[in-house]
Each structure stands twice: as C-alpha cells, then as structure tokens.
Chain A
Amino acid sequence: MRGQTTRSPVKLGRPKYLVETPTSAMNDIAFILIVFFLVCASVEPENGRSQVIPRSDKNEKAEASQSTEVGLTPATVTIDGTPYREEEFTPRIRQLLAQKKTEAERVVVLKSQADVPYEHWITMTGIIERAGGIVTLLLEEEQTVNLN
C-alpha cells in the first residue's frame, strides 16, 4: 500500500506558564514589616502633667509659715480640717489661694491617707495646682528605736 501514510495523533502540550510566586521581593517586605512592628512596639505614652515638688528643706519652711493643709482620704477631702465635697473643694481652694501673694504662702501641704488611690490623688493635686497652689507632701516618717 504505497502512498498511504499513517498519521499518528500529534500531542500538543499545554504551554507552561510561570506559576511560582515571585520571591525576590520577600526580603524587602519582611524588612518593612519588622520595622513597622518595631516602631509600633517602641511608641509608649508620654503625655502627662509636670509637677514640681519642693525638697524637704523647703517643706519645713513652708510648714513654719501659714500654709494651707489639705487632707485626702479615698472618699473625702479636707481643707485645714474642714471636709468638702469634690465640687465644693475647687472653688474653696481657689478662693483661699487667691488671697495668698507670695510663693511661700501658696504652698499647700498635702496629707494623704495610706489608702488613697493614685487616680484620686492626681485629680486633687491637679485642682490645687490649677488654682495656683504649690503641692508639698507631708509623709509620716518611720523610726526604729532599739531598746536595750
């Protein structure tokens, strides 16, 4: 059977496309991510309020002069022994400090009970400072006495 050609089926392979993920930029992406996390971790809150607390020697002078004494407990606040509610305290301390002329007179001796929380303390000292007062602390000193 000459002239008859047998045709075998031609297999056409599918074209191979690039299916791999391009990894050349991975290092750069990782770097940028790490820098981002580092910056996030290092941002700490710093906003707040500055406060000047005179040293002890000044406190002693202040105590000698006619300074105002504010007493703090977790629930109450007193001025020179008289208790006030928080809303009454602000105008009263402003009124008292407005009469004081010198820096030494504007010293407010703060005597806090041991169980006063910081949040209450910072609110009250803020009120005093905005009224023009200079806060000093009155702390109880512990002394050890040896008995022979």
Chain B
Amino acid sequence: MILRRKTFEATVPSMAMGDIAFLLLIFIVLLARARDESHLVWQPATGTELVKPANRNASVVIDKQNVTYLNGRAIPVESLGAELESLLGDLPAGGRTVLFKVHKDVIAEFFEPAIEAVSEAGGELHHVLEPASNRTLAP
C-alpha cells in the first residue's frame, strides 16, 4: 500500500497587498506635502512675455501675510541671504535660479529686502507671474 504525502499549498497571501500599497502611498504623499509650497497662500501678479525657468535651485515665497518662506519654510528676511548662499554654494552662473513668488499686493517694504538678499547671495531672480489675460476682472 502506497501512502501519498499530503501536498501543501505555499502561496504568498496577497489579500493585504492593496492596503500595504495604500499606506505606502499615503506616507509618500505626506512626505511630499511637507516639502512643497501648496499650503502657502499667494496670488501671482500679472505679466507679459513669460518664460519657463531653465532650472530651479531655490524658491522664495512671500505670502498674503507678508511672511517670507524659503523652500516652504518660514524664515526671517535678515537670514535669507545667508541661507541662500549656503543653498546655492558654488553653482555656476546660469544654474543659480531662485524662483520668486510674491503675492501681488505685498508692498515694497517686504519684497525689496528679499530681492536684495537674493541678489547678494548671487541668485538669479525669476519672478513667477501669471499671464495678463488669465486674470478674471473683479466686479
């Protein structure tokens, strides 16, 4: 009499794979949100003959509340120059682009010192604007 061995199925349980993938994605999304500037409230000024920057090494935002941010992090204007210098380092000319996003109603008292800081750090300013025709006129 021949007794056959029982065969066991050895499969990877794939039921939880979807949940694991979801959790991973949520984790990555949260990490990405911590870095971006989508939480900052600012409305671009209008302009004409707009171009895309060749590269972007840093981003300076001045929001509706006149608060200055460097790469999404609030920073006093006095230390903006030094922080930018360390960020840009010895990058060659043409590769030191600093995106400058200022809310359209911010006054010179707040944005001019930031422009000066970028200039002192050797950054190449790129004002982020919106095409003039896109703006809907307020009633």
The reply to whether the CB of B2 lies closer than 8 angstroms to some CB of chain A is no
Chain A, interface size: which category? 35 or more
Given contacts A47-B129, A49-B47, A118-B107, A137 and B36 within 8 Å (CB-CB) = no
Bound form: Cα–Cα A48–B45 in Å: 10
Flag whether A91 is at the interface (Cβ < 8 A).
no
Contact B103 A48 (CB under 8 A): no
A-B pairs under 8 A by CB, number? 126
Among residues of B, the one whose C-beta sits closest to the C-beta of A126 is: B47
Contact of B126 among A34, A50, A114, A139 (CB under 8 A): A50
Residues on A with beta carbons closer than 8 Å to the beta carbon of B21: 27, 31
B residues contacting the other copy or chain, number (CB 8 A): 50
Chain A 131-145, CB-CB to B under 8 Å as 1, else 0, gives 000000101000000
Say yes or no: A26-B18 contact (C-beta < 8 A), given A44-B38, A112-B108, A114-B108: yes
Could you say which of B22, B49, B105 contacts A119, with CB atoms under 8 Å apart?
A: B105
List of B residues within 8 angstroms of A76 by Cβ = none
Identify which of A53, A54, A116 gathers the most chain B CB atoms within 10 Å of its CB. A53
Judge whether A53 and B115 touch: CB under 8 Å.
yes
User: How far, in Å, is A80 (CB) from chain B's closest CB?
Assistant: 20
User: Interface readout for B47-69 with A: 1 if CB under 8 Å, 0 if not?
Assistant: 11111110010000000000000
Is A41 on the interface with B (CB-CB < 8 A)?
Answer: yes
> Which parts of A11-69 form the interface with B (CB within 8 Å)?
26-27, 30-31, 34, 38, 41-42, 44-56
The interface-forming segment of B3-11, B82-90, B117-125 is: B117-125
Residue from B38, B106, B129 having most chain A Cβ neighbours under 10 A = B129
Q: Kindly state whether residue A113 has any CB partner on chain B within 8 Å.
A: yes
Residues 89-131 of chain A, each 1 if its beta carbon lies under 8 Å from chain B, else 0: 0000000000000000000000011111111011100100000
Q: Does B137 contact A (CB under 8 A)?
A: no
Binding site for A on B (CB under 8 A): 17-18, 21-22, 25, 29, 32-33, 36-38, 44-53, 56, 97, 99-100, 102-109, 111-113, 115-116, 118-120, 122, 124-131
Residue contacts A-B, CB under 8 angstroms, 16 given: A31-B21, A38-B29, A44-B38, A46-B56, A46-B99, A46-B128, A47-B51, A48-B50, A48-B128, A56-B120, A112-B108, A115-B107, A117-B106, A119-B104, A137-B115, A139-B112
Supplied contacts A48-B53, A49-B129, A54-B119, 13 more A-B pairs, CB within 8 Å: A30-B22, A38-B29, A44-B38, A47-B131, A48-B47, A48-B99, A117-B108, A118-B108, A119-B104, A119-B105, A122-B47, A137-B115, A139-B113
